[in-house]
Structure 1
Protein backbone atom coordinates (compact mmCIF):
# COMPACT_ATOMS: atom_id res chain seq x y z
CA UNK A 1 0.00 0.00 0.00
CA UNK A 2 1.49 3.41 -0.98
CA UNK A 3 2.54 5.81 1.76
CA UNK A 4 0.10 8.69 2.55
CA UNK A 5 2.30 11.18 0.67
CA UNK A 6 2.47 8.87 -2.33
CA UNK A 7 -1.33 8.40 -2.25
CA UNK A 8 -1.82 12.17 -2.35
CA UNK A 9 0.59 12.44 -5.29
CA UNK A 10 -1.28 9.72 -7.22
CA UNK A 11 -4.56 11.49 -6.50
CA UNK A 12 -3.20 14.79 -7.80
CA UNK A 13 -1.97 13.12 -11.00
CA UNK A 14 -5.42 11.60 -11.57
CA UNK A 15 -7.08 15.00 -11.10
CA UNK A 16 -4.68 16.63 -13.56
CA UNK A 17 -5.24 13.87 -16.15
CA UNK A 18 -9.01 14.22 -15.80
CA UNK A 19 -8.76 17.99 -16.22
CA UNK A 20 -6.59 17.62 -19.34
CA UNK A 21 -9.04 15.10 -20.83
CA UNK A 22 -11.99 17.37 -20.06
CA UNK A 23 -10.17 20.37 -21.53
CA UNK A 24 -9.39 18.43 -24.69
CA UNK A 25 -13.00 17.34 -25.16
CA UNK A 26 -14.20 20.90 -24.47
CA UNK A 27 -11.79 22.19 -27.12
CA UNK A 28 -13.14 19.72 -29.67
CA UNK A 29 -16.74 20.68 -28.90
CA UNK A 30 -15.95 24.41 -29.14
CA UNK A 31 -14.19 23.95 -32.48
CA UNK A 32 -17.18 22.01 -33.76
CA UNK A 33 -19.43 24.91 -32.70
CA UNK A 34 -17.13 27.41 -34.44
CA UNK A 35 -17.13 25.33 -37.62
CA UNK A 36 -20.93 25.00 -37.51
CA UNK A 37 -21.33 28.77 -37.11
CA UNK A 38 -19.18 29.33 -40.20
CA UNK A 39 -21.21 26.71 -42.06
CA UNK A 40 -24.58 28.23 -41.14
CA UNK A 41 -23.73 31.95 -41.21
CA UNK A 42 -20.89 32.21 -43.72
CA UNK A 43 -17.53 34.00 -43.23
CA UNK A 44 -17.13 35.54 -39.77
CA UNK A 45 -14.55 37.60 -37.91
CA UNK A 46 -12.98 36.38 -34.69
CA UNK A 47 -14.72 39.25 -32.87
CA UNK A 48 -18.14 38.20 -34.18
CA UNK A 49 -17.52 34.60 -33.16
CA UNK A 50 -16.34 35.64 -29.70
CA UNK A 51 -19.59 37.58 -29.16
CA UNK A 52 -21.65 34.66 -30.44
CA UNK A 53 -20.08 32.16 -28.01
CA UNK A 54 -19.18 34.45 -25.12
CA UNK A 55 -15.46 33.73 -25.48
CA UNK A 56 -12.50 36.08 -25.59
CA UNK A 57 -11.19 36.97 -29.07
CA UNK A 58 -7.88 35.32 -28.11
CA UNK A 59 -9.65 32.04 -27.29
CA UNK A 60 -11.58 32.13 -30.57
CA UNK A 61 -8.38 32.80 -32.53
CA UNK A 62 -6.76 29.78 -30.87
CA UNK A 63 -9.61 27.56 -32.06
CA UNK A 64 -9.51 29.14 -35.53
CA UNK A 65 -5.76 28.51 -35.77
CA UNK A 66 -6.33 24.84 -34.88
CA UNK A 67 -9.03 24.55 -37.56
CA UNK A 68 -6.75 26.26 -40.10
CA UNK A 69 -3.95 23.81 -39.24
CA UNK A 70 -6.40 20.95 -39.84
CA UNK A 71 -7.26 22.36 -43.27
CA UNK A 72 -10.90 23.00 -42.31
CA UNK A 73 -10.86 26.82 -42.16
CA UNK A 74 -9.10 29.51 -44.18
CA UNK A 75 -8.91 33.31 -44.31
CA UNK A 76 -10.95 34.96 -47.07
CA UNK A 77 -10.97 38.55 -48.40
CA UNK A 78 -13.74 40.95 -47.49
CA UNK A 79 -16.61 41.02 -50.00
CA UNK A 80 -16.60 43.94 -52.44
CA UNK A 81 -18.96 46.76 -51.50
CA UNK A 82 -18.83 45.97 -47.79
CA UNK A 83 -18.68 49.08 -45.56
CA UNK A 84 -15.16 49.47 -44.21
CA UNK A 85 -14.38 51.05 -40.85
CA UNK A 86 -11.20 52.89 -40.01
CA UNK A 87 -8.12 50.90 -39.15
CA UNK A 88 -6.90 47.61 -40.47
CA UNK A 89 -9.48 45.45 -42.28
CA UNK A 90 -10.83 42.67 -40.08
CA UNK A 91 -9.87 39.11 -41.00
CA UNK A 92 -12.72 36.95 -42.19
CA UNK A 93 -12.68 33.19 -41.68
CA UNK A 94 -14.60 30.63 -43.74
CA UNK A 95 -14.83 26.86 -44.10
CA UNK A 96 -12.76 25.08 -46.73
CA UNK A 97 -14.17 22.26 -48.86
CA UNK A 98 -12.76 19.83 -46.30
CA UNK A 99 -14.49 21.71 -43.48
CA UNK A 100 -17.83 21.74 -45.31
CA UNK A 101 -17.60 18.02 -46.03
CA UNK A 102 -18.18 17.30 -42.33
CA UNK A 103 -21.74 18.63 -42.57
CA UNK A 104 -24.67 16.89 -44.26
CA UNK A 105 -25.84 18.23 -47.61
CA UNK A 106 -28.03 17.17 -50.49
CA UNK A 107 -25.30 17.03 -53.16
CA UNK A 108 -24.73 13.30 -52.70
CA UNK A 109 -28.43 12.52 -53.11
CA UNK A 110 -28.67 14.75 -56.17
CA UNK A 111 -25.61 13.16 -57.83
CA UNK A 112 -26.85 9.64 -57.10
CA UNK A 113 -30.29 10.50 -58.48
CA UNK A 114 -28.72 11.91 -61.66
CA UNK A 115 -26.66 8.74 -62.21
CA UNK A 116 -29.71 6.56 -61.63
CA UNK A 117 -31.47 8.55 -64.34
CA UNK A 118 -28.50 8.06 -66.70
CA UNK A 119 -28.56 4.32 -66.00
CA UNK A 120 -32.30 4.22 -66.65
CA UNK A 121 -31.95 6.09 -69.96
CA UNK A 122 -28.88 4.47 -71.54
CA UNK A 123 -27.93 1.66 -69.20
CA UNK A 124 -24.71 0.81 -67.35
CA UNK A 125 -22.42 1.85 -70.26
CA UNK A 126 -23.68 5.40 -69.84
CA UNK A 127 -22.70 5.37 -66.17
CA UNK A 128 -19.24 4.09 -67.10
CA UNK A 129 -18.83 6.83 -69.69
CA UNK A 130 -19.86 9.47 -67.13
CA UNK A 131 -17.37 8.02 -64.61
CA UNK A 132 -14.64 8.08 -67.25
CA UNK A 133 -15.33 11.73 -68.10
CA UNK A 134 -15.34 12.67 -64.41
CA UNK A 135 -11.96 10.97 -63.89
CA UNK A 136 -10.61 12.49 -67.13
CA UNK A 137 -11.25 15.99 -65.79
CA UNK A 138 -9.20 15.19 -62.68
CA UNK A 139 -6.53 13.51 -64.80
CA UNK A 140 -6.23 16.52 -67.11
CA UNK A 141 -5.56 18.89 -64.21
CA UNK A 142 -2.93 16.62 -62.63
CA UNK A 143 -1.19 15.55 -65.85
CA UNK A 144 0.51 18.91 -66.49
CA UNK A 145 2.35 18.62 -63.16
CA UNK A 146 3.10 14.89 -63.09
CA UNK A 147 4.30 14.70 -66.70
CA UNK A 148 7.33 16.84 -65.79
CA UNK A 149 8.42 14.51 -62.98
CA UNK A 150 10.39 11.29 -62.85
CA UNK A 151 8.18 8.24 -62.43
CA UNK A 152 9.45 7.67 -58.89
CA UNK A 153 8.45 11.20 -57.88
CA UNK A 154 4.91 10.95 -59.20
CA UNK A 155 3.18 9.11 -56.32
CA UNK A 156 4.07 11.86 -53.83
CA UNK A 157 3.05 14.56 -56.31
CA UNK A 158 -0.25 12.80 -57.00
CA UNK A 159 -0.97 12.52 -53.26
CA UNK A 160 -0.24 16.23 -52.85
CA UNK A 161 -2.62 17.11 -55.70
CA UNK A 162 -5.33 14.87 -54.27
CA UNK A 163 -4.93 16.48 -50.85
CA UNK A 164 -5.42 19.92 -52.41
CA UNK A 165 -8.73 18.60 -53.80
CA UNK A 166 -9.89 17.43 -50.36
CA UNK A 167 -8.88 13.75 -50.47
CA UNK A 168 -6.38 14.00 -47.55
CA UNK A 169 -3.93 11.69 -49.33
CA UNK A 170 -0.59 10.35 -48.15
CA UNK A 171 2.10 8.02 -49.52
CA UNK A 172 3.41 4.95 -47.72
CA UNK A 173 6.29 2.68 -48.72
CA UNK A 174 5.66 -1.07 -48.37
CA UNK A 175 7.95 -4.03 -49.20
CA UNK A 176 6.18 -4.64 -52.52
CA UNK A 177 6.01 -1.03 -53.68
CA UNK A 178 4.23 2.20 -52.75
CA UNK A 179 0.69 2.90 -51.61
CA UNK A 180 -1.35 6.07 -52.02
CA UNK A 181 -3.82 6.34 -49.14
CA UNK A 182 -6.82 8.66 -49.47
CA UNK A 183 -8.21 9.27 -45.97
CA UNK A 184 -11.25 11.18 -47.22
CA UNK A 185 -13.49 10.72 -50.27
CA UNK A 186 -15.84 13.58 -51.22
CA UNK A 187 -17.96 11.24 -53.36
CA UNK A 188 -17.94 8.16 -51.11
CA UNK A 189 -21.73 7.95 -50.74
CA UNK A 190 -22.29 8.12 -54.50
CA UNK A 191 -19.43 5.72 -55.27
CA UNK A 192 -20.92 3.18 -52.86
CA UNK A 193 -23.85 2.84 -55.29
CA UNK A 194 -21.82 3.41 -58.47
CA UNK A 195 -18.40 1.68 -58.18
CA UNK A 196 -17.68 2.74 -61.77
CA UNK A 197 -16.45 6.02 -60.26
CA UNK A 198 -13.75 4.18 -58.28
CA UNK A 199 -12.79 2.10 -61.32
CA UNK A 200 -12.38 5.16 -63.54
CA UNK A 201 -10.33 6.93 -60.87
CA UNK A 202 -8.01 3.93 -60.56
CA UNK A 203 -7.50 3.84 -64.33
CA UNK A 204 -6.70 7.57 -64.28
CA UNK A 205 -4.08 6.95 -61.58
CA UNK A 206 -2.50 4.23 -63.73
CA UNK A 207 -2.18 6.60 -66.68
CA UNK A 208 -0.84 9.45 -64.54
CA UNK A 209 1.76 7.21 -62.88
CA UNK A 210 2.51 5.37 -66.15
CA UNK A 211 2.22 1.96 -64.52
CA UNK A 212 -0.59 -0.46 -63.75
CA UNK A 213 -1.87 -0.03 -60.20
CA UNK A 214 -4.08 -2.05 -57.88
CA UNK A 215 -6.96 -0.69 -55.81
CA UNK A 216 -6.87 -2.59 -52.52
CA UNK A 217 -9.58 -0.81 -50.54
CA UNK A 218 -12.15 1.98 -50.85
CA UNK A 219 -14.04 4.11 -48.36
CA UNK A 220 -17.12 3.66 -50.54
CA UNK A 221 -17.14 -0.07 -49.72
CA UNK A 222 -16.74 0.43 -45.98
CA UNK A 223 -12.95 0.47 -45.66
CA UNK A 224 -11.32 3.14 -43.52
CA UNK A 225 -9.20 4.48 -46.36
CA UNK A 226 -8.95 4.26 -50.16
CA UNK A 227 -5.69 2.42 -50.85
CA UNK A 228 -4.04 2.24 -54.26
CA UNK A 229 -1.01 -0.04 -54.57
CA UNK A 230 1.80 0.88 -56.98
CA UNK A 231 3.99 -2.20 -57.53
CA UNK A 232 7.77 -1.91 -57.37
CA UNK A 233 8.04 -3.46 -60.83
CA UNK A 234 10.00 -0.98 -62.91
CA UNK A 235 12.68 -2.25 -65.30
CA UNK A 236 16.16 -0.63 -65.22
CA UNK A 237 15.36 1.14 -68.52
CA UNK A 238 12.31 2.71 -66.90
CA UNK A 239 9.67 0.59 -68.65
CA UNK A 240 7.00 -0.77 -66.34
CA UNK A 241 6.08 -4.41 -66.24
CA UNK A 242 2.47 -4.70 -67.25
CA UNK A 243 0.62 -6.33 -64.39
CA UNK A 244 -3.10 -7.05 -64.03
CA UNK A 245 -4.82 -4.43 -61.90
CA UNK A 246 -7.57 -5.13 -59.40
CA UNK A 247 -9.89 -2.14 -59.44
CA UNK A 248 -12.88 -3.70 -57.69
CA UNK A 249 -13.39 -5.51 -54.45
CA UNK A 250 -13.75 -9.26 -55.02
CA UNK A 251 -17.27 -10.01 -56.24
CA UNK A 252 -19.35 -12.78 -54.77
CA UNK A 253 -20.33 -15.71 -56.96
CA UNK A 254 -23.68 -17.39 -56.59
CA UNK A 255 -22.11 -20.58 -55.35
CA UNK A 256 -21.76 -20.52 -51.56
CA UNK A 257 -20.86 -16.83 -51.55
CA UNK A 258 -17.30 -17.41 -52.71
CA UNK A 259 -15.42 -14.42 -54.03
CA UNK A 260 -13.55 -14.00 -57.28
CA UNK A 261 -11.13 -11.14 -57.96
CA UNK A 262 -11.97 -8.86 -60.87
CA UNK A 263 -8.98 -7.79 -62.96
CA UNK A 264 -9.22 -4.71 -65.14
CA UNK A 265 -6.59 -3.13 -67.33
CA UNK A 266 -6.07 0.62 -67.01
CA UNK A 267 -7.85 1.52 -70.24
CA UNK A 268 -10.74 3.64 -71.34
CA UNK A 269 -14.11 1.90 -70.68
CA UNK A 270 -14.73 1.03 -74.32
CA UNK A 271 -11.19 0.05 -75.23
CA UNK A 272 -10.06 -3.53 -75.14
CA UNK A 273 -7.36 -4.28 -72.58
Structure 2
Protein backbone atom coordinates (compact mmCIF):
# COMPACT_ATOMS: atom_id res chain seq x y z
CA UNK A 1 0.00 0.00 0.00
CA UNK A 2 2.71 2.48 1.00
CA UNK A 3 4.89 1.59 -1.99
CA UNK A 4 2.10 2.20 -4.45
CA UNK A 5 1.27 5.55 -2.89
CA UNK A 6 4.91 6.64 -2.96
CA UNK A 7 5.34 5.64 -6.59
CA UNK A 8 2.21 7.59 -7.53
CA UNK A 9 3.50 10.71 -5.81
CA UNK A 10 6.97 10.28 -7.31
CA UNK A 11 5.52 10.17 -10.82
CA UNK A 12 3.37 13.19 -10.11
CA UNK A 13 6.40 15.12 -8.81
CA UNK A 14 8.43 14.41 -11.92
CA UNK A 15 10.45 11.40 -10.78
CA UNK A 16 10.76 9.24 -13.90
CA UNK A 17 12.72 6.37 -12.36
CA UNK A 18 12.02 2.85 -13.55
CA UNK A 19 9.48 0.80 -11.56
CA UNK A 20 12.33 -1.22 -10.01
CA UNK A 21 14.20 1.94 -9.02
CA UNK A 22 11.02 3.39 -7.51
CA UNK A 23 10.34 0.26 -5.50
CA UNK A 24 13.88 0.18 -4.15
CA UNK A 25 13.76 3.88 -3.34
CA UNK A 26 10.50 3.32 -1.49
CA UNK A 27 12.16 0.53 0.53
CA UNK A 28 14.96 2.93 1.45
CA UNK A 29 12.44 5.58 2.51
CA UNK A 30 10.50 3.13 4.66
CA UNK A 31 13.65 1.80 6.34
CA UNK A 32 14.74 5.35 7.15
CA UNK A 33 11.26 5.92 8.57
CA UNK A 34 11.42 2.76 10.70
CA UNK A 35 15.05 2.86 11.84
CA UNK A 36 16.22 6.47 11.44
CA UNK A 37 18.58 8.00 12.24
CA UNK A 38 20.31 5.43 10.04
CA UNK A 39 23.52 5.61 8.01
CA UNK A 40 24.04 4.70 4.36
CA UNK A 41 26.19 1.73 5.41
CA UNK A 42 23.44 0.39 7.67
CA UNK A 43 20.87 0.80 4.90
CA UNK A 44 23.10 -1.11 2.51
CA UNK A 45 23.53 -4.01 4.93
CA UNK A 46 19.82 -4.30 5.74
CA UNK A 47 18.60 -3.93 2.15
CA UNK A 48 21.50 -5.80 0.49
CA UNK A 49 22.36 -2.81 -1.69
CA UNK A 50 25.78 -1.69 -2.88
CA UNK A 51 27.20 1.56 -1.46
CA UNK A 52 26.74 3.21 -4.86
CA UNK A 53 23.08 2.18 -5.03
CA UNK A 54 22.37 3.39 -1.48
CA UNK A 55 24.05 6.73 -2.21
CA UNK A 56 22.07 7.14 -5.44
CA UNK A 57 18.74 6.54 -3.72
CA UNK A 58 19.61 8.70 -0.72
CA UNK A 59 20.73 11.55 -2.96
CA UNK A 60 17.46 11.32 -4.89
CA UNK A 61 15.40 11.29 -1.68
CA UNK A 62 17.33 14.26 -0.33
CA UNK A 63 16.77 16.14 -3.60
CA UNK A 64 13.05 15.35 -3.37
CA UNK A 65 13.00 16.57 0.25
CA UNK A 66 11.93 13.14 1.52
CA UNK A 67 14.88 12.58 3.88
CA UNK A 68 17.38 14.88 5.60
CA UNK A 69 20.73 14.42 7.28
CA UNK A 70 20.50 14.12 11.05
CA UNK A 71 23.50 15.08 13.15
CA UNK A 72 23.03 15.03 16.94
CA UNK A 73 24.22 18.09 18.79
CA UNK A 74 26.68 15.95 20.74
CA UNK A 75 28.41 14.66 17.60
CA UNK A 76 32.21 15.25 17.74
CA UNK A 77 33.74 17.53 15.15
CA UNK A 78 36.70 16.92 12.91
CA UNK A 79 38.59 13.63 12.86
CA UNK A 80 36.58 10.67 14.06
CA UNK A 81 33.25 12.27 13.33
CA UNK A 82 30.56 9.55 12.98
CA UNK A 83 29.05 8.73 9.61
CA UNK A 84 26.13 10.89 8.53
CA UNK A 85 22.75 9.47 9.46
CA UNK A 86 19.39 10.18 7.87
CA UNK A 87 15.82 10.65 9.06
CA UNK A 88 12.56 11.16 7.20
CA UNK A 89 11.64 14.82 6.69
CA UNK A 90 8.21 16.31 7.26
CA UNK A 91 7.61 16.09 3.50
CA UNK A 92 8.67 12.44 3.61
CA UNK A 93 6.15 11.67 6.30
CA UNK A 94 3.51 13.46 4.26
CA UNK A 95 4.33 11.23 1.28
CA UNK A 96 3.53 8.18 3.41
CA UNK A 97 0.14 9.48 4.38
CA UNK A 98 -3.11 9.10 2.51
CA UNK A 99 -4.98 11.81 0.64
CA UNK A 100 -7.81 11.64 3.17
CA UNK A 101 -5.86 13.41 5.92
CA UNK A 102 -7.09 16.89 5.01
CA UNK A 103 -10.69 15.68 4.97
CA UNK A 104 -10.28 13.97 8.36
CA UNK A 105 -8.92 17.18 9.89
CA UNK A 106 -11.81 19.19 8.48
CA UNK A 107 -14.36 16.75 9.88
CA UNK A 108 -12.77 16.85 13.33
CA UNK A 109 -12.62 20.64 13.26
CA UNK A 110 -16.31 20.69 12.47
CA UNK A 111 -16.99 18.28 15.33
CA UNK A 112 -14.92 20.38 17.75
CA UNK A 113 -16.65 23.60 16.72
CA UNK A 114 -20.21 22.26 16.73
CA UNK A 115 -20.06 19.80 19.64
CA UNK A 116 -16.91 20.73 21.54
CA UNK A 117 -13.30 19.55 22.05
CA UNK A 118 -14.46 16.77 24.37
CA UNK A 119 -16.23 15.16 21.42
CA UNK A 120 -12.92 14.89 19.54
CA UNK A 121 -11.18 13.43 22.60
CA UNK A 122 -14.04 10.95 22.95
CA UNK A 123 -13.71 9.94 19.32
CA UNK A 124 -9.96 9.44 19.79
CA UNK A 125 -10.58 7.16 22.78
CA UNK A 126 -13.23 5.18 20.88
CA UNK A 127 -10.89 4.72 17.92
CA UNK A 128 -8.04 3.56 20.15
CA UNK A 129 -10.39 1.26 22.06
CA UNK A 130 -10.98 -0.74 18.88
CA UNK A 131 -7.23 -1.05 18.25
CA UNK A 132 -6.59 -1.82 21.91
CA UNK A 133 -9.05 -4.71 21.89
CA UNK A 134 -7.39 -6.19 18.80
CA UNK A 135 -3.85 -5.65 20.10
CA UNK A 136 -4.70 -6.96 23.59
CA UNK A 137 -5.72 -10.28 22.06
CA UNK A 138 -2.27 -10.59 20.46
CA UNK A 139 -0.47 -9.60 23.68
CA UNK A 140 -2.44 -12.21 25.60
CA UNK A 141 -0.78 -14.97 23.55
CA UNK A 142 2.68 -14.16 24.97
CA UNK A 143 1.72 -14.18 28.66
CA UNK A 144 2.61 -11.65 31.34
CA UNK A 145 6.30 -11.09 30.56
CA UNK A 146 6.63 -7.34 29.94
CA UNK A 147 9.42 -7.42 27.29
CA UNK A 148 7.53 -10.11 25.39
CA UNK A 149 4.32 -8.08 25.55
CA UNK A 150 6.17 -4.97 24.39
CA UNK A 151 7.58 -6.90 21.43
CA UNK A 152 4.12 -8.21 20.57
CA UNK A 153 2.83 -4.64 20.65
CA UNK A 154 5.66 -3.55 18.34
CA UNK A 155 4.71 -6.25 15.85
CA UNK A 156 1.03 -5.31 15.98
CA UNK A 157 1.85 -1.64 15.42
CA UNK A 158 4.19 -2.46 12.53
CA UNK A 159 1.52 -4.59 10.91
CA UNK A 160 -0.72 -1.52 10.98
CA UNK A 161 1.90 0.71 9.33
CA UNK A 162 3.46 2.43 12.35
CA UNK A 163 7.02 1.19 11.56
CA UNK A 164 7.57 0.33 15.23
CA UNK A 165 10.73 -0.86 16.96
CA UNK A 166 11.75 -1.47 20.59
CA UNK A 167 15.05 -1.69 22.44
CA UNK A 168 16.18 -1.85 26.08
CA UNK A 169 17.48 1.46 27.49
CA UNK A 170 18.76 2.93 30.73
CA UNK A 171 20.55 1.55 33.73
CA UNK A 172 19.82 0.83 37.40
CA UNK A 173 16.66 2.62 38.54
CA UNK A 174 15.84 3.93 35.05
CA UNK A 175 15.86 0.66 33.17
CA UNK A 176 13.12 0.24 30.60
CA UNK A 177 12.15 -0.33 26.99
CA UNK A 178 12.10 2.42 24.41
CA UNK A 179 9.31 1.93 21.89
CA UNK A 180 9.67 3.98 18.70
CA UNK A 181 7.18 4.55 15.90
CA UNK A 182 8.78 5.81 12.72
CA UNK A 183 5.51 6.50 10.97
CA UNK A 184 2.10 7.70 12.15
CA UNK A 185 -0.85 7.16 9.78
CA UNK A 186 -2.80 9.90 11.59
CA UNK A 187 0.04 12.41 12.01
CA UNK A 188 -1.80 15.30 10.34
CA UNK A 189 -4.78 14.77 12.63
CA UNK A 190 -2.61 14.42 15.76
CA UNK A 191 -0.76 17.65 14.99
CA UNK A 192 -3.98 19.58 15.50
CA UNK A 193 -5.64 17.22 17.97
CA UNK A 194 -3.05 15.87 20.47
CA UNK A 195 -5.79 13.89 22.20
CA UNK A 196 -5.04 11.13 19.67
CA UNK A 197 -1.47 10.85 21.01
CA UNK A 198 -2.74 10.94 24.58
CA UNK A 199 -5.31 8.22 23.92
CA UNK A 200 -2.65 6.04 22.32
CA UNK A 201 -0.27 6.40 25.29
CA UNK A 202 -3.12 5.57 27.70
CA UNK A 203 -3.91 2.45 25.66
CA UNK A 204 -0.25 1.37 25.79
CA UNK A 205 -0.30 1.74 29.59
CA UNK A 206 -3.40 -0.42 29.93
CA UNK A 207 -2.13 -3.12 27.58
CA UNK A 208 1.32 -3.34 29.17
CA UNK A 209 0.15 -2.91 32.76
CA UNK A 210 2.62 -0.10 33.55
CA UNK A 211 2.47 3.68 33.29
CA UNK A 212 4.32 4.56 30.08
CA UNK A 213 5.81 7.98 29.34
CA UNK A 214 5.56 9.60 25.93
CA UNK A 215 8.88 11.35 25.27
CA UNK A 216 8.46 12.59 21.71
CA UNK A 217 5.94 12.53 18.88
CA UNK A 218 5.97 12.99 15.13
CA UNK A 219 3.00 15.29 15.59
CA UNK A 220 5.15 17.44 17.85
CA UNK A 221 7.82 17.89 15.19
CA UNK A 222 10.17 15.05 16.14
CA UNK A 223 11.46 12.51 13.63
CA UNK A 224 9.94 9.60 15.57
CA UNK A 225 7.36 8.89 18.28
CA UNK A 226 9.16 7.66 21.40
CA UNK A 227 7.52 6.00 24.40
CA UNK A 228 9.40 4.88 27.52
CA UNK A 229 8.13 1.65 29.11
CA UNK A 230 9.57 1.23 32.63
CA UNK A 231 10.59 -2.26 33.65
CA UNK A 232 12.08 -1.42 37.06
CA UNK A 233 8.61 -0.39 38.28
CA UNK A 234 7.41 -3.93 37.61
CA UNK A 235 10.37 -5.45 39.46
CA UNK A 236 9.89 -3.04 42.38
CA UNK A 237 6.19 -3.85 42.62
CA UNK A 238 6.88 -7.58 42.61
CA UNK A 239 9.53 -7.14 45.32
CA UNK A 240 7.17 -5.09 47.48
CA UNK A 241 4.47 -7.75 47.16
CA UNK A 242 6.98 -10.42 48.20
CA UNK A 243 8.02 -8.43 51.28
CA UNK A 244 4.42 -7.91 52.25
CA UNK A 245 3.67 -11.63 51.93
CA UNK A 246 6.58 -12.66 54.19
CA UNK A 247 5.97 -9.91 56.74
CA UNK A 248 2.30 -10.81 57.20
TM-score, normalised by the number of residues in structure 1: 0.53
Aligned to 1:206: 205
* Contact 1:215–1:229 (CA under 8 A) maintained in structure 2: yes
> Displacement of 1:121 after TM fit?
2.2
Aligned to 1:115: 108
1:153–1:204 Cα change, 3 Å: same
* Contact 2:97–2:185 (CA under 8 A) maintained in structure 1: no
> Displacement of 1:193 after TM fit?
0.4
Report how many aligned residue pairs link the two structures. Answer: 169
Structure 1 range deviating more: 232-241 or 115-124: 232-241
Q: For each residue in 1:131-160, what CA deviation from the matched residue of structure 2 results, as whole angstroms up to 9, or x when unmatched?
A: 100111111111111022232201111111
> Displacement of 1:61 after TM fit?
4.8
Q: For each residue in 1:40-81, what CA deviation from the matched residue of structure 2 results, as whole angstroms up to 9, or x when unmatched?
A: 8xxxxxxxxxxxx796xxxx5576467568769xxxxxxxxx
CA distance in 2, matches of 1:231, 1:201: 17
> Displacement of 1:239 after TM fit?
8.7
* Contact 1:167–1:185 (CA under 8 A) maintained in structure 2: yes
CA distance in 2, matches of 1:132, 1:165: 18
1:239–1:207 Cα change, 3 Å: farther
Candidates 150, 156, 164, aligned match of 1:155: 150
> Displacement of 1:186 after TM fit?
1.1
Matched ranges for 1:26-45 at <5 A: 35-36=7-8
1:67–1:191 Cα change, 3 Å: closer
TM-score, normalised by the number of residues in structure 2: 0.58
Larger Rg belongs to: 1
1:167–1:240 Cα change, 3 Å: farther
Please tell me the root mean square deviation across aligned C-alpha atoms, in Å.
3.5
CA distance in 1, matches of 2:169, 2:180: 12
1:221–1:65 Cα change, 3 Å: closer
* Contact 1:234–1:240 (CA under 8 A) maintained in structure 2: no
> Displacement of 1:36 after TM fit?
2.4
CA distance in 2, matches of 1:173, 1:135: 26
CA distance in 1, matches of 2:213, 2:29: 29
* Contact 1:101–1:186 (CA under 8 A) maintained in structure 2: no
Bigger fraction of residues in helix? 2
* Contact 1:39–1:100 (CA under 8 A) maintained in structure 2: no
CA distance in 2, matches of 1:116, 1:33: 26
Candidates 156, 166, 169, aligned match of 2:164: 169
Aligned to 1:135: 128
CA distance in 2, matches of 1:114, 1:221: 21
